[in-house]
Amino acid sequence: MIVLVSEEHCEQLRDEFWRYSREYDLRTARSSAEALATTAEAHAAGSMVALFASDSVLPDANIREACQQWRATVPTARIALVPPAERFLGHARELRPEMSKGTFDSYLIMPRGVRDEEFHNSITDLLADWNSTVASPEVVMVRIIAPETDALVQDLQDFVDRMGMSSELHAPDSEIGRDAFGALPAIPAAEPPVVWLDQNEPLAVQSVKELASSLYASISEPSFEGVADLAVVGAGPSGLAAAVYGSSEGLATVALEAGAIGGQAATSSMIRNYLGFPQGISGKRLGLRARFQAQRFGTRFYTGWEVDCLVPGNGGPHVLETSNGEVRARAVVIASGAQYQKLGVASVEERLGRGVYYGAALTAAREMEGGNVFIVGGGNSAGQAAMHLARFASSVTILVRRPGLEETMSQYLISEITNSPRIAVEGSTRVVDVGGEVILESITTENIVTREQTTRPATGLFLLLGARPHAEWLPAEVAVDDHGFVLTGRDVPMDHWVDSVPPAALATTLPGVFATGDVRSGSMKRVASAVGEGASVVPLVHAWLASDQSR
């Protein structure tokens, strides 16, 4: 349902939103109270409100208070303010700061004529975000058959979701489960999950890597014959940017990714401070768009190809060895990113996939409805996860070892968190234990100053801790710092400098090999900076390919 709220302009709003009436139930309300009554009626009928589109002036409530009421009543709905032209500028100074607090999602001028596609582009972005994170999929592309949800099943669901495919989970004794296992009679129901992609044969898989290789082998193969100009290891924001700029500038480019396209950023429900997306964009959508963009310029993606080692070229092309084959390239960009650190609590690890998740695990968000959720971590990814989970859970508590979030999180997220009645922050706190027979049922925390412990009911625990680099596959010729992050530029030890000159800014100690993004020592751990490094490395690759040493 879309609820259109205005005392004076209901008919105009209905006319403007008529194009959505085929797939959404359009309702009008002339006051905040009427909008709430319409919402209650929708809930009673089993319908969901996807969007409130409201004038900036209502007869019975301050618009800020009205938005807060709607948000409290339907936390999953998106809210757009669409005042007419005569009010748009006059109210902008007062209302736009509320957008940064998450009071509403978008501030748009009501269309004054037909085909206002800029307006509708903003509306469809809100609806697309709602549809991908809240609504049950109308068309299911992937069916996962497993006896229970565990860490592997959760990882499989996350993978297909981040690759842009809707999924459903089915029990082995369901009709779909029996059909799937009937097509694989040698696989007993207690064995690994079966993944059934629409129009394909069912697959019994034991890892995300195996699923990725099975699904994308026909797309990625045949393996690259000859020598690529540029091989990018990792398809997060940095690797995707390197692939886009490399292939768009004429380099024969391949990108290898062991898991889902988009890296850790793909688990971010909404990135609001990325340039050019004023309403924000989910990490998944950003990654998928970048992938399509790179493919348009000719990049060849090898999804499910985990690099086991890099063999230095020593005068010839570098060789990337994987379990699926070799890729040879004259230049290599290391963009393999970082992984979340383990918490180190045994009871936590025992419940992975059963209420405990490393990362944002967006596919688990719906399961948190009405529950108490805890997030460990103080970075932007933790803040984005908190805002998303607060749409479903009754309470979300962010646990950090520092006194607060100010040192590690962007101010816009802190403002949104402060403005959300469902989110609390507990500083100087760590997790010491969790409980539950099979799934997570409780969490025990300790104040690291007073040593006081507290046990509380818990539905979900999401761990977004400081990252460790995914760089164990690199040879000794690539220097790393004490934490395993790749050294580049002036950070490279001076005994690797040539004539007292350090390597180029993103160059490593191995000629022809570069590093960008989270895997690089000293990186900012932000999506925008990772994309910038991915773009900036391409001129350095060109210079290397043109050098005498490369030839």
Residue 447's alpha-carbon distances to 426, 430, 454, in angstroms, are: 9, 7, 9
Phi, psi angles (nearest 5°) of residue 354: -120, 50
In this predicted structure, the answer to whether residue 499 has a pLDDT above a threshold of 50 is yes
Q: What is the pLDDT of residues 351-369, one digit of tens each?
A: 988 899 988 777 788 889 8
Q: Within this chain, do residues 197 and 226 fall inside the same structural domain, yes or no? A: no
Per-residue pLDDT of 418-461, as tens digits, reads: 999 999 999 999 999 999 988 999 999 999 999 999 999 999 99
Could you give the CA distance from residue 85 to residue 82 in angstroms, rounded to a whole number? 9
98 vs 137: which has the higher pLDDT: 98
Indicate the SS3 state at residue 520: strand
% residues pLDDT > 70 (the chain):
96
> Which stretches does DSSP call E strand in 312-371?
318-322, 325-334, 338-340, 356-358
**Residues 472 and 335 placed together within one structural domain of the fold:** yes
CA–CA dist 281, 67 (Å, integer): 21
414/515 same-domain check: no
Query: Could you say which of 133, 161, 179 is where a domain stops?
Result: 133
Indicate whether 460 and 492 sit together in one domain: no
Alpha helices in 142-259 (DSSP H): 151-162, 175-183, 208-220, 237-248
For residue 56, what are the domain limits? 2-133
> Is 213 a member of any domain?
no
Paired tokens of 181: 């296992």
Buried b (16+ CB within 10 A) or exposed e, 248-277: beebbbbbbbbbbbbbbbbbbbbbbebeee
343: which strand partners? none
Closest CA to 514 of 535, 494, 493: 535
**Mean of pLDDT values over 533-547:** 96
Q: Is residue 460 domain-shared with residue 482, that is, in the same domain?
A: no
State how many domains the chain has: 4
Q: Assess if residue 211 is contained within a domain.
A: no
Cα–Cα distance measured from residue 352 to residue 9, given in angstroms and rounded to the nearest whole number = 51
pLDDT computed for residue 222 by the predictor: 42
Q: How far apart (Å, rounded) are the C-alpha atoms in residues 404 and 420?
A: 16
| CA-CA-CA-CA dihedral for 525, 538, 510, 488, to nearest 10 | -30
Last-in-domain residue among 115, 133, 151: 133
Q: Judge if 501 and 520 occupy the same domain.
A: yes
Structure tokens given for 233: 């290891």
Q: Are the C-beta atoms of 270 and 129 separated by less than 8 Å?
A: yes
Asked whether residue 89 falls in the same domain as residue 152, the answer is no
Q: Are residues 127 and 186 in the same domain?
A: no
What pLDDT is attached to residue 319?
96
Average pLDDT over residues 86-100: 86
Averaged pLDDT, 9-33: 94
Each residue's pLDDT tens digit, 455-498: 999 999 999 987 789 999 999 999 999 999 999 999 999 999 98
Exposed e or buried b for every residue in 10-31, given b needs 16+ CB within 10 A?
bebbbebbeebeeeeeebbbbb
- Residues 538, 393 share a domain: no
Distance CA 370, CA 390 (A): 10
Buried b (16+ CB within 10 A) or exposed e, 140-165: ebbbbbbeebeebbbbbbbbbbbbbe
What pTM value is reported for the model? 0.87
**Do 359 and 437 sit in the same domain of this protein?**
yes
With respect to residue 550, please indicate whether it lies within any of the assigned structural domains: no
Phi and psi at 202, nearest 5°, equal -60, 150
Asked whether residue 104 is assigned to any structural domain, the reply reads: yes
Distance, in Å, from the CA atom of 544 to the CA atom of 85, rounded to the nearest integer, reads 54
CATH of the domain at 73: 3.40.50.2300
Angle at 188 between CA 187 and CA 190, to 5 degrees: 125
- Among 109, 133, 157, which residue terminates a domain? 133
Q: Are residues 433 and 357 in the same domain?
A: yes
Angle at 75 between CA 21 and CA 5, to 5 degrees: 45
DSSP string, 108-123: -PPP-SS--HHHHHHH
CA distances from 289 to 114, 295, 384 (A): 28, 10, 20
Where does the pLDDT of residue 396 fall: very low under 50, low under 70, confident under 90, or very high at 90 and above?
very high
Question: Is 334 within the bounds of a domain?
Answer: yes
Identity of the residue numbered 448: I
Instruction: Give the pLDDT mean for 298-326.
Output: 91
- The per-residue pLDDT for range 110-166, each reduced to its tens digit, is 998 788 899 999 999 999 889 888 767 777 888 998 887 788 888 888 888 888 888
How would residue 202 be classed by pLDDT, with cut points 50, 70 and 90?
A: confident
Q: Per the structure block, which two tokens stand in for 50?
A: 């996807």
- Over the Cα atoms of the chain, what is R_g? 25
Kindly state whether residue 212 falls inside one of the protein's structural domains.
Answer: no
483 is a domain residue: yes
Domain with residue 483: its CATH number is 3.50.50.60
> Does residue 149 sit within a domain?
yes
If asked whether residues 7 and 127 sit together in one domain, one would say yes
At residue 104, the 3 state secondary structure works out as: coil
* pLDDT at position 220 over 50: no
